[in-house]
């Protein structure tokens, strides 16, 4: 993809770029010499993420915008392109979560997760296409989740939103192929990741949320996103765990559901002191403090994925 823009370094724009997977992905692209544009709601988080990119020795620009506001996102995208140059790749990484039984989750919270996680991806894609279509080139990567292969209990809003993200990406990709467009749409499916997502989520479980193991460090996912942006691969599971989960959900759905029933309820409640102390829901408003890349579950998180290592070796 970068060779399409020989006049200057390639440019990536990342929504949800102030923390977690989005911020980590910014560092991976920056390390490869890309210029980086970051979009998020919180100015403090964006400033900290921008410092990371500058430390990697590349150019960065930020824009404060809510992905649920289509007009604001379009303005942010246009401003970032004006500052950094033609956008080569766009990563939709913004998302949030609410944990609890469906009957215990207020309608407003359910709607907010859907609007940020699904419609935020739609709005981001719309903004990216507005920039890319005149040039007929570019790559869009939608960060999805392994929950699309079997929804998780206590995550009904998130599971539904991510399933919608996958269907949206599949449909749009075919539309672009029919038009003979050179714009590529990729959807990546990460496993559970050690990020502040769980501290930022609302919990109706009596305890803060935690990822269902096995848990991976965000660096693994960020490298997968970079690979998807470069290759244009339609869909990519970012760990053998997710690949196996997807296969089992197809060939043994009843057994898979039974396993999730045993592990997916108590397994999402964290009783760790660090998780309790750092719980700071940001579903409706950003924090006034900078967030970070990693969460509090690093002691149990895997730092590499055999599947992704093999993909890098043989791609």
The number of angstroms, rounded, from the C-alpha of 166 to the middle of its chain's C-alpha atoms is: 12
Flag whether pLDDT at 57 surpasses 60: yes
- Could you give the count of Cα atoms lying within 13 Å of 274 in the half-sphere of its Cβ? 9
End-to-end CA gap in the chain: 14
pLDDT score at 313 = 66
Which ranges constitute the DSSP H helices of the chain?
20-31, 43-55, 70-84, 107-114, 120-132, 156-178, 197-200, 218-231, 240-251, 253-263, 273-278, 306-314
pLDDT above 90 covers a percentage of the chain that reads 75
Residues 242-255, mean pLDDT to the nearest whole number: 91
Active site residue 158: yes
How far apart, in whole angstroms, are the C-alpha atoms of residue 53 and residue 300? 27
Beta bridge partners of 61: 37
pLDDT score at 135 = 97
pLDDT score at 277 = 65
Flag whether pLDDT at 113 surpasses 60: yes
Q: Report pLDDT digits (tens) over 81-111.
A: 999 999 999 999 999 999 999 999 999 999 9
pLDDT score at 283 = 96
Among 145, 158, 117, 299, CA closest to 237: 145
Name which residue leads in pLDDT, 244 or 96. Answer: 96
Flag whether pLDDT at 236 surpasses 60: yes
The residue range of the domain holding 297 is: 2-314
CATH number at residue 126: 3.40.50.720
Flag whether pLDDT at 3 surpasses 50: no
5, 99, 118, 158: which one is catalytic? Answer: 158
Do strands 183-189 and 98-99 pair parallel, antiparallel, or not at all (unpaired)? unpaired
Flag whether pLDDT at 214 surpasses 50: yes
Residue with tokens 């719309």: 126
pLDDT score at 274 = 63
> Is 238:191 a contact under the CB 8 Å cutoff?
yes
pLDDT score at 219 = 96
Residues 172-197, mean pLDDT to the nearest whole number: 97
Residues 229-238, mean pLDDT to the nearest whole number: 96
Residues 143-169, mean pLDDT to the nearest whole number: 97
- pLDDT bracket for residue 1 (50, 70, 90): very low
Q: Structurally, how many domains does the chain consist of?
A: 1
Flag whether pLDDT at 173 surpasses 80: yes
């Amino acid at each position: 993809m970068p060779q399409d823009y020989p006049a200057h370094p390639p440019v990536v724009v990342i929504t949800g770029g102030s923390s977690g997977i989005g911020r980590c992905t910014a560092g991976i692209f920056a390390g490869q010499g890309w210029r980086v544009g970051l979009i998020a709601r919180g100015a403090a988080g964006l400033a900290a993420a921008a410092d990371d990119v500058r430390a990697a020795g590349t150019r960065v620009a930020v824009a404060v915008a809510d992905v649920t506001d289509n007009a604001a996102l379009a303005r942010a995208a246009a401003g970032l392109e004006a500052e950094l140059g033609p956008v080569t790749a766009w990563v939709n990484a913004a998302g949030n979560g609410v944990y609890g039984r469906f009957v215990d989750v207020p309608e407003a919270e359910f709607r907010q997760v859907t609007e940020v996680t699904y419609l935020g991806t739609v709005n981001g894609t719309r903004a990216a296409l507005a920039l890319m279509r005149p040039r007929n080139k570019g790559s869009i990567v939608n960060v999805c989740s392994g929950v699309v292969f079997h929804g998780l209990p206590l995550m009904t809003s998130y599971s539904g939103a991510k399933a919608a993200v996958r269907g949206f990406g599949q449909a749009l990709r075919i539309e672009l192929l029919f038009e003979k467009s050179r714009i590529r749409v990729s959807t990546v499916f990460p496993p559970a990741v050690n990020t502040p997502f769980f501290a930022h989520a609302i919990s109706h479980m009596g305890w803060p949320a935690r990822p269902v193991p096995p848990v991976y460090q965000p660096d693994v996912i960020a490298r997968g996103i970079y690979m998807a942006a470069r290759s244009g691969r339609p869909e990519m599971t970012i760990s053998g765990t997710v690949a196996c989960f997807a296969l089992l959900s197809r060939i043994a759905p009843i057994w898979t559901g039974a396993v999730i029933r045993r592990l997916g309820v108590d397994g999402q409640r964290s009783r760790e002191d660090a998780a309790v102390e750092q719980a700071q829901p940001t579903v409706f408003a950003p924090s006034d403090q900078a967030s970070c890349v990693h969460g509090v579950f690093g002691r149990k998180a895997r730092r590499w994925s055999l599947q992704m290592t093999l993909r890098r070796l043989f791609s």
